[in-house]
Amino acid sequence: MNLNNLPPRVKLVEVGPRDGLQNEKQAVPAAVKIELVQRLQDAGLKEIEVTSFVSPKWVPQMADNAEVMAGIVRAPGVRYSVLTPNLQGFEAALKSKPDEIVVFGAASEAFSRKNINCSIAESIERFAPVVQAARAAGIYVRGAMSCTVGCPYEGEVAPERVGYLAGLMKGIGVQHVGVADTIGVGTPLKVQRAIEATLKHFDLNDVSGHFHDTYGQALANTLISLQMGVWQFDTSVAGLGGCPYAKGATGNVASEDVVYLLHGMGIETGIDLDKLIDAGAFVSDFLQRKSGSRVATAMLNKRNA
């Protein structure tokens, strides 16, 4: 591992509007989600996970998926992605013209059942026609792999389970996978092993990190991934979020914190940190909650001093 061999440029996929807000108890109007997306793209984010086409009974906060997709003002060069767990979700999503869809599976059987109501093998059977239809329509397909280091129901997850899922995803034509630490229990060497298992099936350029920050390890996990050459990460503005089927899990690592880390190491992101902080302040003010980003908190304190 070589600290001097870090990628010169990193792409962040902003997942705040989807992963960040999906678990939010208070109603968040579509207009707020639309403005959040606008502020994120104005801050320089080039890929935004906007919403999910899942069952509104399972995740009520995403029930306004079509309204939000219709309301965003698309900027050239920005990619808008949505989650689609099955053909029903994909067909609904298609009308919204996403640039990219995400099928989401788990390295742990128990989490697969809790999150999408089927086994890992069944999930792959459901994803296969979605992937095929998306690729036929020219829509890029990303796969999210949950619980790649730990599961809220099964505990520690072995790297072999991650490799198994990555192989299944590759086999059905998924083009890129995200290695997710859904409940934020991972530490760097465990994350490294999960990524190594994934790299047996996917090229380094087709792998990203998706780290929740429940135990405060997400920046360390990001750093070790960077040292492995990973240059794509999902992050959530103001550290919003959590998964409804992973109790106690907090949000993804805050986008502001990752941008600060990267810029501090001379790694380009194309993101304007001040504007990103404003986007985070906008949504935190709406939710009447303190930002989950340490960097945003520090910089807002400095601005107000």
User: Which one of Mg ion, ligand HMG, none is in contact with 101 (Cβ closer than 5 to 8 A by kind)?
Assistant: none
Tokens of 186: 């991972």
Pick between residue 244 and residue 270 the one whose CB is nearest to ligand HMG. 244
Pick between residue 19 and residue 64 the one whose CB is nearest to Mg ion. 19
CB of 283 to Mg ion, least distance (A): 17
What is the per-residue binding string for Mg ion in 19-58, x denoting contact by CB under 5 A?
x---------------------------------------
Of 16-24, 26-34, 100-108, 150-158, which segment contacts Mg ion by CB under 5 A? 16-24
Residue 66: name the closest of 78, 79, 82 by CA: 82
Of 15-23, 160-168, 214-222, 294-302, which segment contacts Mg ion by CB under 5 A? 15-23
Provide CB contacts within 8 A for 219, sequence distance 6+. 213, 253, 257, 258, 261
- Establish if 181 lies at the interface with Mg ion (CB under 5 A): no
User: Which one of ligand HMG, Mg ion, none is in contact with 146 (Cβ closer than 5 to 8 A by kind)?
Assistant: ligand HMG
User: Which one of Mg ion, ligand HMG, none is in contact with 55 (Cβ closer than 5 to 8 A by kind)?
Assistant: ligand HMG
Catalytically active residues, by annotation: 243
CB of 210 to Mg ion, least distance (A): 6
Number of amino acids touching Mg ion (CB under 5 A): 1
CA distance 188 to 220: 6
Pick between residue 115 and residue 232 the one whose CB is nearest to ligand HMG. 115
- Establish if 64 lies at the interface with Mg ion (CB under 5 A): no
Pick between residue 14 and residue 19 the one whose CB is nearest to Mg ion. 19
CB of 229 to ligand HMG, least distance (A): 21
- Establish if 14 lies at the interface with Mg ion (CB under 5 A): no
Q: Which residues bind ligand HMG (CB under 6 A)?
A: 19, 22, 52-55, 58-59, 83, 85-86, 88-89, 104, 115-117, 144, 146, 180, 182, 210, 212, 243-245
Residues that bind Mg ion (CB under 5 A): 19
